[in-house]
Amino acid sequence: MSSDTNGNAQDSADLILGSVPGEPALGRGPISEDHFERRDYHHPAAGWGAARSVAEVIAKAGEPIEGPRAIRRMNHENGGFDCPGCAWPDDTKGLHLDICENGIKHVMWELTHKRTDRDFFAAHTVTKLAGWSDFALEDQGRLTEPMRYDPASDRYVPISWEDAFTIVGVALNRLESPHQASFYTSGRLSNEGSFLYSLWAREYGTNNLPDCSNMCHEASGRALTASIGTGKGTADLKDWEEADAIFVLGVNAATNAPRMLTYLAKAHRRGARIVHINPLVEAAATRTIVPHEFAAMARFKSTELSTLNVQPRIGGDLALLRGVAKAVCELAETDPGAIASEFVDRYTTGFEDYRDACAAASWAELERQSGVSQATMRQIADVYVQAKRTIICWCLGITQQEHGVDSVREIVNLLLLRGNIAREGCGPSPVRGHSNVQGNRTFGIDHRPSEALLDRLARVCGIDPPRQHGLDTVGTIEAMRRGEVKVFVGMGGNFALCTPDTATTSEAIRRCELTVQISTKLNRSHVVHGRQALILPCLARSEKDHQRGGVQAVTVEDSMAMVHLSLGMKEPISPDLRSEPAIISGMAQASLPGSRTPWQEYVDDYDRIRDTMAKVFDGIEDFNRRVRRPLGFRIRQPAREGVFLTPSGRAEFAAGPVPDVVPADGRLTLSTKRSHDQFNTTIYSNDDRYRGVKNLRTVVFMNRDDMRERDLAEYDLVDITSIARDGTRRTVYGYRAVAYDIPAGCAAGYMPELNVLCPIGDFSSQSDQPLMKHLLVEVVRGVGAPAVNPVEG
């Protein structure tokens, strides 16, 4: 099957933006889609498929020695560096190969021999680079020295670190208000970097600290805080090893948290029940061969990963969970032990109202909204009631929706019914994405800081932090678009590509007076820039961080609140790279000339940063000693101990309404996904092994009946149009319709390409998150392929 049409996007006539015809689609992979296919994947997750992929990646990187050496040091308690990929915790028993395929891909991506140096920039105008695919930009290799955009030549040119810092300082000090600057953070920034970055912003005078959590797990943090008084999950790996039942909602673990497969496999072997709830039956819901289990690999012996697979409609999770809770309450009428009454009476409030809400919900409406039968919901309830200890984990399939907060609160409601909090082997367990996204929020990256944190910063650090809440990610984009934010600093990530409504975001970025990107590789955010622009190259996680006090280690916090050290093992690829703390310090000193903060002393020895952090944040007392223990230490979670820091002093049930998520006739609900050969916005190839896709990213997965209603055959070209709340429409053209096992009325496709369909104004009223996994769309037979890219508007 050949493809002769690129999938590209433009806004429709009622939202016209300038554009450059003929440019490649955003996020596209390394090669054309001239030859593609899709076949059902029937092999175990991980196993020999992962082993073969790792061998190919190491060979392609040309690192037969450094590659395996890095793999041995990754996630290792004795002087290793933390995997820069997902936030799944390190094995509690010190497993020597606590690694995964995607983590290895990311490390090999860092270890590339390719360089994006001054000669490269001299040879290419930014206008020319803007026409390259995102794969092609990152494939040029590691950045080697600071660069400044020169509008006269339309090129990036070298600049010294000192001069770059001066540009930042001058631009910030020219602003009429500190709130005209915004300081974005990706999840890769270390705990020390997060603290210094937030300290700089607040000493400068703003809480404009948007971060990637605003687009991912903001709903989880708000829901958990409201329900149990902490923004984090309470379960740890030991709990995973003791649970009798594990519910997995909206998670594609084989791709997003592959090391989780080890614990699902262990759970199945000991007889635990595993229920996967997801519109798509992903590879992690089938079976696996764990690569470091050598006997199983040798015998090709796989382990089942699921007891029950349930496929609700997109957005139907809350109705499904309410149905399960309703069934539990009905079981309790004849079996009082179905509800942990003693726990509920002692530790919770709001149960009666919640029970009444469950009783009031009709089975017919719960079935309609969830897309799941009453019999299946009762089956899930039976699994839940029969288990003594249950963990419920979830990811972005739950949070990136209008009612994400209510859905997470419904998860907690279900756990509270049977006392599955504040006991071993149970609890809520959000599956975080980037390696330190949880640590960012713990250590200061928060546009809505508490008064307690600000008071502590004032006392410990001697600054006068602003009390006004700042801008989140969507708020920053809108403020840039209005001309109210004039300086944007991006600490890692690829802001121009990972955000919603990429055309609008790019337009907003270009209105800035200065954009600063701290990065390891070239990406879209360097070619979509402000009137002045800086690229500041930083060390990778795997590289040694040399400072005056010796080689420094940083710390990270995983998704289960374990904090541990990460120490680079390889010499930096360029002498002109600096660490993130050093870059932050340089910008802070240039923009805060009268600061009494010991910025340089902090950079000389990171222990000094941690000593200050220990005075500011609760739960990390004696930081430097405790973090040097094998595997580090866990930050105390009061809710795990039955202490609920809510207004009532108890865990709180919440009886939110069941929303209407059924799309109107002729429309579908579309969810964006990540492919297996992808890390956030970094795309390694056009393949998606676990979904059986080869060399195709401009694809929309559809239910066969939905395709039949639209008279579509496999691989037909289609146009996908999203309908915003304000009535505007955004369209991508020339995508391929592919039949997939997904509920009727639902569709799925890849991010970041389909981020263009998510309107900037369509964000959750509960969490302010963009609705990346709940887009209302129309899919019609393609009428052509205009090949227009709105980000280049």
pLDDT digits (tens, 9 = 90+) for 665-683: 999 999 999 999 988 888 9
Question: Which of 99, 30, 116, 88 is closest to 58 using CA atoms?
Answer: 99
CA distance 462 to 634: 28
CA distance 607 to 504: 42
Residues facing 184 on adjacent strands: 490
Q: Which helix (H) or strand (E) holds 66?
A: helix 66-73
Average the pLDDT over 469-478 and give the result: 98
CA distance 153 to 350: 65
Instruction: Look at residue 436 in the predicted model and tell me its pLDDT.
Output: 84
Instruction: Look at residue 298 in the predicted model and tell me its pLDDT.
Output: 77
Q: Which helix (H) or strand (E) holds 753?
A: none
Per DSSP, 650 falls in state S
The answer to whether 701 and 738 are in contact (CB under 8 A) is: yes
Question: Which of 224, 354, 221 is closest to 645 using CA atoms?
Answer: 224
CA distance 679 to 288: 21
Average the pLDDT over 225-243 and give the result: 96
pTM of the model: 0.92
Instruction: Look at residue 545 in the predicted model and tell me its pLDDT.
Output: 97
* Those residues with Cβ within 8 angstroms of residue 301's Cβ, 6 or more apart along the chain or in another chain: 289, 295
CA distance 168 to 181: 11
Q: Scanning the structure block, which residue is given the tokens 């139907």? A: 316
Instruction: Look at residue 2 in the predicted model and tell me its pLDDT.
Output: 32
Residue 3, pLDDT > 90, answer no
Return the structure tokens found at 388: 């003594």
Residues facing 566 on adjacent strands: 554
Question: Which of 9, 232, 164, 130 is closest to 735 using CA atoms?
Answer: 9
The fraction of the chain above a pLDDT of 90, given in percent, is 77
Residue 469, pLDDT > 70, answer yes
In this predicted structure, which of 39-53, 489-503, 662-676 has the lowest mean pLDDT?
39-53
Q: How far apart are the two ends of the chain, measured CA to CA in Å? A: 32
pLDDT tens for 309-349 read: 999 999 999 999 999 999 999 999 999 999 999 999 999 99
Give residue 31's pLDDT band: very low, low, confident or very high (50, 70, 90): very low
Average the pLDDT over 689-701 and give the result: 94
Question: Cα torsion at 444, 85, 24, 762 (round to 10°)?
Answer: -40
Dump strand ranges (E) for 369-416: 390-394
Residue 73, pLDDT > 90, answer no
Q: Scanning the structure block, which residue is given the tokens 């508490």? A: 450
Residue 237, SS3?
helix
Instruction: Look at residue 33 in the predicted model and tell me its pLDDT.
Output: 66
Question: Which of 258, 238, 251, 383 is closest to 317 using CA atoms?
Answer: 251
* Those residues with Cβ within 8 angstroms of residue 476's Cβ, 6 or more apart along the chain or in another chain: 182, 184, 208, 210, 485, 488
Instruction: Look at residue 790 in the predicted model and tell me its pLDDT.
Output: 34
Displacement of CA 705 from its chain's centroid (Å): 32
CA distance 262 to 249: 17
CA distance 314 to 400: 11
CA distance 559 to 87: 5
Instruction: Look at residue 25 in the predicted model and tell me its pLDDT.
Output: 41
CA distance 32 to 7: 11
Q: Scanning the structure block, which residue is given the tokens 């916005």? A: 681
Question: Which segments of 528-684 does DSSP mark as H helices, in order?
Answer: 580-591, 599-604, 606-616, 623-626
pLDDT tens for 591-631 read: 999 999 999 999 999 999 999 999 999 999 999 999 999 88
More confident residue, 118 or 63: 118
Render the burial of 2-33: b for 16+ CB within 10 Å, e for the rest. Answer: ebebbbbbbbeeebebebeeebbbbbbbeeeb
CA distance 127 to 151: 11
Give residue 414's pLDDT band: very low, low, confident or very high (50, 70, 90): very high
Q: Scanning the structure block, which residue is given the tokens 């009946």? A: 705
Question: Which segments of 86-155 does DSSP mark as H helices, in order?
Answer: 101-110, 118-123, 126-130, 134-138
Instruction: Look at residue 96 in the predicted model and tell me its pLDDT.
Output: 54
Instruction: Look at residue 79 in the predicted model and tell me its pLDDT.
Output: 57
More confident residue, 129 or 68: 129
Question: Which of 556, 555, 557, 523 is closest to 537 using CA atoms?
Answer: 523
The three-point CA angle 285-290-291 to 5° equals 140
Q: Scanning the structure block, which residue is given the tokens 């140096």? A: 117
In this predicted structure, which of 58-62, 690-694, 744-748 has the lowest mean pLDDT?
58-62
Instruction: Look at residue 74 in the predicted model and tell me its pLDDT.
Output: 62
Question: Which of 752, 731, 750, 751 is closest to 19 using CA atoms?
Answer: 731
